[in-house]
Amino acid sequence: MRRAIGPALTAVTLAAVLTAPGVVPAAATGEPSADPRAVMFVGNNWDGTATVVDADTHEVITTVDTVPDRRQRMAEILARPDKLAFYLAIQAAIGEGNAQYTDDMFTSHDGRMLAVSRPSFADVVGLDLATGDIVWRFPMEGYRSDHMGVSPDGTRLLVSDSTANKVHELDFATGAKTGEFASGDSPHENNYTADGSRVFHASIGRVYTPVDRPVFRQAFDTVKGEQHFQIVRTEDLAIESRWDMGKELEEAGYPGMASAVRPMALAPDERYVYLQVSFFHGWIEFDTEAPDVDGSTTYDGEPAVGAVTRVVDLPKRTTEPRERYVLDSAHHGLAMNPEGTTLCAAGTMDGYAAIIDRETEQHRLVEVGDKPYWSTNGVFRDECWVSVSGTDQVVVIDYDTGQEVRRIDVGDHPQRVRDGVVAADVLTTWQ
């Protein structure tokens, strides 16, 4: 298997450590099941746990240990100087002084297994929800894992390999690798289309570097690395389209904005995609089928399509300088209700969630607390779940009224929130 070697950075010692390669291995097996119950999984990144919340009643059901092998993994890290260097660098430069143990999570369709990406351990594991045991483990080629994605049929899992600049495709049941596709620096989000035929993916570049001022953009852009927004065909994992969002914004009349696409939300027609980009307090509408403004060609040399159609500001409340933004994230978290009428944006540096009318752009701000870090749709009602990492809570907001309906205490530094299912017989083992 090919190994990817990231470019060395000279700007900062920690940033230099976060740009190299790694190793591979593979995995095990899974079991079928029945009668799943809808839940929400909240990943408590610094705890190494996931809080399981009833999707209907909003009551906490249990807490799952996502690092049952912590002692073994730490022994491996301490025995390898390269792994130890990256572990410490992740803790200092990305984890705000904390190790990152729980980033992203998805359940199998039968409700028996939970796949978890664990950045500081540079892996993905499949956890048996009944026993808490690790069924399979897939180490990254590089030194850090990040966001994931699961196919609509639940058979394939994508995981971003932060320092190898690629995304791995795994068999969900076994953890065996089935493919990969290329990304830019720090591959990030992976969103399947409803039919599973395509993936919307973004790489965010080296957001942990200190080169954050627009005046530095041209001279120091290479320090941030390659930042791509792309569409990938799942049939052959080929890149169908690729854009530099900073250039697209410049073509639309917004020069000097970042290229790094953060969380995104697909409209129901999957033509329009709504984006957050580094340092921007607001949202962007991108039409993937509009003629490209400058008549350029695509990644495959075909006539280019895709253009920015709206750039909408939300209130900026923080007085912190850009260098103190959490991993360049002015806002980090964006969801759209199933009808496609309303957006829910997490205002990370501003302490609010914004409920936004997609057509009129009118918004209502909900005060959620310090450092909201993700937003996703609920299951049973038209509601948005927002993780508030600074207060260790999740806030549930009604899309229709823009009002908070529930505040749930979870673990240390909640980030990703994902809907999932748990088998009925697994639930009995938790009681």
Q: What are phi and psi of 50, to 5 degrees?
A: -135, 125
Beta bridge partners of 158: 149, 169
Structure confidence by residue, pLDDT tens digits, 365-387: 999 999 999 999 999 989 999 99
Q: For 220-226, what is the mean pLDDT?
A: 61
Q: For 4-20, what is the mean pLDDT?
A: 36
Looking up tokens 């690629």 gives 166
Q: What is the structure's pLDDT at 3?
A: 30
Cα Rg of the chain (Å, integer): 20
pLDDT at 89 over 90: no
Burial class (CB in 10 A: 0-12, 13-18, 19+), 168: buried
Contacts of 257 (CB under 8 A, 6+ apart): 245, 246, 249, 250, 277, 279, 280
> Coil, strand or helix: which one is 291?
strand
Q: For 316-320, what is the mean pLDDT?
A: 92
Q: How far is it, in rounded angstroms, from Cα 196 to Cα 214? A: 37
Residue ranges of E strands in 162-227: 166-171, 177-182, 187-192, 198-203
The pTM score is 0.87
CB-based contact 52:400 (threshold 8 Å): no
Q: For 231-251, what is the mean pLDDT?
A: 93
Q: What is the structure's pLDDT at 29?
A: 33
Q: What is the structure's pLDDT at 328?
A: 82
Q: How far is it, in rounded angstroms, from Cα 88 to Cα 120? A: 9
> pLDDT grade, residue 208 (50/70/90)?
low
Q: Which of 400, 280, 392, 387 is nearest to 328 (CA)?
A: 280
Q: How far is CA 123 from CA 43, 136, 142, 175, 272, in A?
A: 15, 10, 9, 11, 32
> pLDDT grade, residue 227 (50/70/90)?
confident
Ramachandran region, residue 399 (left: φ > 0; alpha: ψ -120 to 50; beta: rest):
alpha
Q: What is the structure's pLDDT at 388?
A: 98
Domain range 30-324, CATH architecture: 7 Propeller (2.130)
Looking at the chain, the whole-number percentage of residues with pLDDT higher than 90 is: 74
pLDDT at 86 over 60: yes
Q: What is the structure's pLDDT at 300?
A: 60
Q: Which residue has the higher pLDDT, 25 or 246?
A: 246
Structure confidence by residue, pLDDT tens digits, 413-426: 999 999 999 999 99
Q: What is the structure's pLDDT at 324?
A: 82
Q: For 193-208, what is the mean pLDDT?
A: 87
Domains of the chain, residue spans: 30-324
Q: What is the structure's pLDDT at 323?
A: 79
pLDDT at 97 over 80: yes
Q: Which of 338, 189, 197, 215 is nearest to 279 (CA)?
A: 215
Q: Within a 10 A sphere around the Cβ of 194, how many other Cβ atoms? A: 10
pLDDT at 362 over 80: yes
Q: For 211-235, what is the mean pLDDT?
A: 69
> pLDDT grade, residue 299 (50/70/90)?
low
Looking at every residue in the chain, the average pLDDT score rounds to 87
Give the DSSP letter of residue 91.
I
pLDDT at 192 over 80: yes
pLDDT at 195 over 50: yes
pLDDT at 10 over 50: no
pLDDT at 102 over 50: yes
Say if strands 177-182 and 187-192 run parallel, antiparallel, or are unpaired. unpaired
* Secondary structure, 3-state, 370-416: CCEEEEEECCCCCEEEEEECCCCEEEEEECCCCCEEEEEECCCCEEE
Burial class (CB in 10 A: 0-12, 13-18, 19+), 166: buried
Q: For 166-172, what is the mean pLDDT?
A: 97
